[in-house]
Amino acid sequence: MSDTSARGSWRSVARLRVPLGFVCAVIALWLARPSPASVLAGMSVAALGELIRLWAAGHIEKGREITRSGPYRLFRHPLYAGSAVMGVGFMIAARSLPAAMVVGVYLVIALMSAARAEEAVLDARFGGEYAAYREGRAAPSDRPFSLARVRANREYRAVIGFAIGCVLLYLRTRF
């Protein structure tokens, strides 16, 4: 497979990650066998993941620059890392190996494809600047965290999704 067709494949999968995520969430919720204790433990881990996402969203100017402040000093994809931590929290809360497998497979495929597609776009748009960042040669930035950026990046959608997930998992302990 050529490099160009591989990038196109990653983009195709990345575009489907949100609808596929909803489908996987419904399946995982159906397979879940949570207890009140597993929901508390898992949602505590997931809350940490959402905090990572909030921190990242408060630093990034999506599509406008190569962000090098906040968590972007530490790793390239903190939004995806936060999502992965949230997924691990759901796995813990679900207390079900089949549910954990659905979530795990989804996370690997969706986050890997999103990261690869995003990196291809950043390479094309910012060329050497992104390559320097990716290779650890770019100087970090001291830009402060901004709630305005969190709002502009629509991170409230992930917060709402997290809250809905908590409620649904708690209700699943009852039924």
Percent of residues, the chain, with pLDDT higher than 70: 94
User: pLDDT for 79-103, tens place per residue?
Assistant: 999 999 999 999 999 999 999 999 9
Show the tokens assigned to 141: 């930035």
Residues in contact with 52: Cβ distance below 8 Å, sequence separation at least 6, in sequence order: 71, 78, 81, 82, 85
| Calpha distance 150→101 (Å, rounded) | 31
Domain around 136: 3-174
| Calpha distance 41→101 (Å, rounded) | 18
Sign of CA dihedral 16, 17, 21, 27: positive
Q: How many domains is the chain built from?
A: 1
Q: Is the pLDDT of residue 42 over 70?
A: yes
